[in-house]
Amino acid sequence: MNKTSLLVFGSVLIFVVINGIIWQKEHHIANAIEVKIGLQPLDPRSIMQGDYMRLRYDFLKLKTKGLPKSGLLKINLDHENFITKITPYNNEELKKNEYLIQFSKKRYNRVHIAAESFMFEEGKGDYYAKATHAKLLITKDGATLLKGLYVPPQILQSQ
């Protein structure tokens, strides 16, 4: 093989692999369900990054002591897909409104399930400071993606 054909082959291979990863992620997102988890927002600013909000998820009294370093949690959803209960998953059969979510434990027994910060357009800080929940997409295998923040309509109407 000469250098040109090797370069073309390498470029095509990279293109196929990257597009395969993109297709896989889009497929997961298309088949994911949207859930809302309570927030305890923090509101720092960063000169280098612009406006963003650090997120602290409300784990509804989940006991983190004794959880493994990573694994699955079982979540219960209400009729509007708000998470109402989070418990460790022990390989039991899931009921109708129960789903799995992947987690890992960080320092100080902090549970990590999704992005811990949310970037937003400059000047939108007051709007996002009113957010009560994060919107997560959860795939069938429990992987999560932060979709956005949820501000209840009644808070927006009261202004």
- Which amino acid is located at 4 in the chain? T
Res 45: pLDDT: 57
- Which amino acid is located at 111 in the chain? V
CA distance 74 to 19: 32
CA distance 133 to 135: 7
Summarised one tens digit per residue, pLDDT across range 71-130 is: 999 999 999 999 999 999 999 999 999 999 999 988 877 888 988 888 888 778 778 888
CA distance 141 to 132: 26
pTM: 0.76
Res 130: pLDDT: 83
Band of residue 29 on the pLDDT scale cut at 50, 70, 90: confident
